[in-house]
Amino acid sequence: MCDVINTRKQLLAEVDALRSRVKDLEARCARTEENTVRRSEEKYRLLFHSTPIALIERDASRLKTYLDHLRESGVADFEEYLRDNPQETRHCISMIKTVEFNDAFLKLLEVDTRDELVQGFPFIGNPEEFHRLVLEIIPMIAERNIFREREVTIVTGKGNKKSVLTKALIVSGSEDTLSRIVIAMIDITQRKQAEESLRESEQRFREQAMRDNLTGLYNRRFLYNSLSGLIETSKLTQSCLSLIFMDLDNFKKVVDTYGHLNGSRAIQEVARTIHEIVEAPAYAVAYAGDEFVIVLPEFNPFQAAEKASHLQSRIKNSVYLQEYGFEVKLQASYGVAAFPDHATDLTGLLASADRALFSVKENGKGAVGLADRLTSYETLFNQDGDVFSSKAHEMTL
C-alpha cells in the first residue's frame, strides 16, 4: 500500500515537473516569437527609413470598418455610391491616417520638417485629380485590392510639379484590417519630361518632313498625301474642294537682276504673303521653285477665284526685298480647278489647275484662270478682278 502511495506521489511530482517544463518552454517560445517579431519589425523599420525610395505608411483600418458597415447596409457598388454621395469622398479619405514616412518622402515633397506634412496626404496637383484619386482609392480599400500602380501629379512644398509612380502594399499581418499599408512613390518626372521631349522631337521631325526648307510651307509630299484624303472626304460629304496653281511671272528676271540668294529671299517673302491670307483648313504648298499650290477645302471654284484675286492684289501691292535694300514688285498668274467640277482625283485636279494656269500664261500673264464646268471655257480675270477674255478649249478641263 505504501509503495502505491509513493508511486503516486512520484508520478504527481513528475507531472508537476513536466508542467513546469512545458510552461517554461512556452514562455521561452513566446519570448523567442516576441524577439523574432521585434527583430523583424526592427529590420522593417531600418529598411523603411534607409531606402532611397519615398515610403509612407498609412492606416486604413477605420475606413475599412466603415466600408464594411456600408456594405452590410446594402451598398454594393462603392463607385456608384460615391458618385451619388459626393460629400462622402472627403469623409472617407479623412479616415485614412498617416503612421510614418521616411526622409526620402520628405525629399520627394521638398519639405524640410515633418510638421509641414500634418495635413496628411501628399499634395495632389489639382482638385480634379485628387477627386479622381479618391474615387479609385475607396473602392480599392473596400475590395482589399490596393496593389494597382498609378501615376499621379503632386505639387511639392516649393510649388514644383512632379510626376510620381505609386505602388501600395499591405504589411504582412494586417491583411484583414488594412491597418498597415505602405505606399512607395518613385519620382518619374525626368522620365516623363524625356518622353514628352521625345514626342515633341518626333512631331517636329514629322512636321519638318512635310515642310519646304526654304519657305516653311508644306511640300509636295504633304500635298500628295493629304489631297487624296480631302477628295475622298469631299466625295462622302458631297462638298466642294478647290485648288489654286500659282506661278510668279517673269521671276527669272528677278534672279538675273538681284542674284540667286535674293531670288530665294523673294520666294520666302512671297510665301509669307500667301501664308497670311490662307486660313486653316486651307493650306499652301511650295510646289517647285516659284510655283505654289493652295488647297481650299469647301471652296467652290468661284470662291477659290476670289481668293486667288485677293492674293493677286496683295502681291501686286507689296514691295519685296526692302530689308536687303531693294524695291522689287512682283506679279503672278493663277489657275483654279475644283472637285467635282473639273476632276475627281488628285492627278486630274492638279492637271486641270495647271492647264488653267498655262492658259493664263498664254494670254498675257498676271491673271486668274477659272475653268467653266459646263462649256470647258476658261474665264480670265485681270489684276483688278475684271473679266477680260473667255476662250473655248478642245481639251477637257
Are 254 and 300 within 8 A, CB to CB?
Answer: no
Whole-angstrom distance, CA of residue 164 vs CA of residue 121? 14
Q: Which of the pair, 294 or 2, is modelled with greater confidence?
A: 294
So what's the pLDDT on residue 378?
42
Domain boundaries of the chain, sorted by first residue: 45-192, 212-392
Cell readout for 59 is 492606416
The sheet carrying 161-170 orders its strands as 97-101, 54-59, 181-187, 161-170, 150-155
- At residue 384 the predicted structure's pLDDT band, cuts being 50, 70 and 90, is very low
Whole-angstrom distance, CA of residue 145 vs CA of residue 134? 14
- At residue 196 the predicted structure's pLDDT band, cuts being 50, 70 and 90, is confident
> 350-368 pLDDT, tens per residue?
999 999 999 998 888 889 9
So what's the pLDDT on residue 316?
92
Whole-angstrom distance, CA of residue 380 vs CA of residue 390? 6
> 16-74 pLDDT, tens per residue?
665 666 566 666 666 666 666 567 767 767 788 888 888 888 898 998 999 899 889 99
Q: Which residues pair with 167 in a beta bridge?
A: 184
Q: What is the pTM of this model?
A: 0.55
Amino acid at site 249: D
* CATH architecture of structural domain 45-192: 2-Layer Sandwich (3.30)
Topology at the third CATH level for domain 212-392 = Alpha-Beta Plaits (3.30.70)
* CB hemisphere CA count around 156 (13 angstroms): 16
**Residue 217 pLDDT greater than 90, yes or no:** yes
